[in-house]
Structure 1
Amino acid sequence: MNENVRLTAWVRGRVQGVGFRWFARENALRIGGLTGFASNLADGRVQVVAEGTREGCERLLDWLRTGDTPGRVEGVTEIWGEPRGGYGGFEIR
């Protein structure tokens, strides 16, 4: 079963000022069917919220964790939940 889910991921490392949010958006759009946003946080992390199929969100999470990202990812923490809706696409905030 491939139900819709909400992924919230916090990416830490050197991920601000290197195009990481654009990378996250590009990959979310490439996967297709994902909505949400990527946003810089005051503590230097990037928060990525994605809603869509579990498979799509898991693919995005895999991309966030790979070494083939802008900057340097030191770790990713994620939580899963129920989709809340309200996103018109995948935004950079």
Structure 2
Amino acid sequence: MTAPEPATAWAGARCIRCFVSGRVQGVSFRASAAQEAQQLGITGYARNLPDGRVEVLACGDANALERFKAWLHRGPSAAEVAAVACETQDYRPLSGFATR
């Protein structure tokens, strides 16, 4: 299966910034998020925060972002997601999905 093309500045493209809390560090959450994002054609990044949360910026079309947001609520099998708080942001063109 070929991954969808990354989003460009079309009308349906947007970004979301999410903060994921729970047992989300040290369980391959960022790497798994990157893999999921790439399969959905989403660009952005995932990074650990000092307070134990993971911050995720994801940009793409609305349908892909909804699927990605649903994945964030589950995470990889070793994670225990307690909460996901997201806010919509204006679209910005990014290249790939990075782990920081």
TM-score (norm 2): 0.83
Return closer, same or farther for 1:68/1:16 CA change in 2, 3 Å cut-off. Answer: closer
Aligned residue pair count: 90
- The answer to whether residue 74 in structure 2 is matched with residue 61 in structure 1 is no
Offset of residue 84 of structure 1? 2.1
Moved >2 Å (runs of 4+): 66-70
Unaligned runs of 5+ in 2: 1-10
Distance, in Å, in 1 between the alignment partners of 2:31 and 2:49 is 15
Distance, in Å, in 1 between the alignment partners of 2:76 and 2:33 is 12
Aligned to 1:92, which of 80, 86, 99?
99
- The answer to whether residue 89 in structure 2 is matched with residue 81 in structure 1 is yes
TM-score (norm 1): 0.89
For residues 33-67 of structure 1, the C-alpha deviation after alignment (integer angstroms, 9 at most, x for no partner) is x1100000010000110101011111100001126
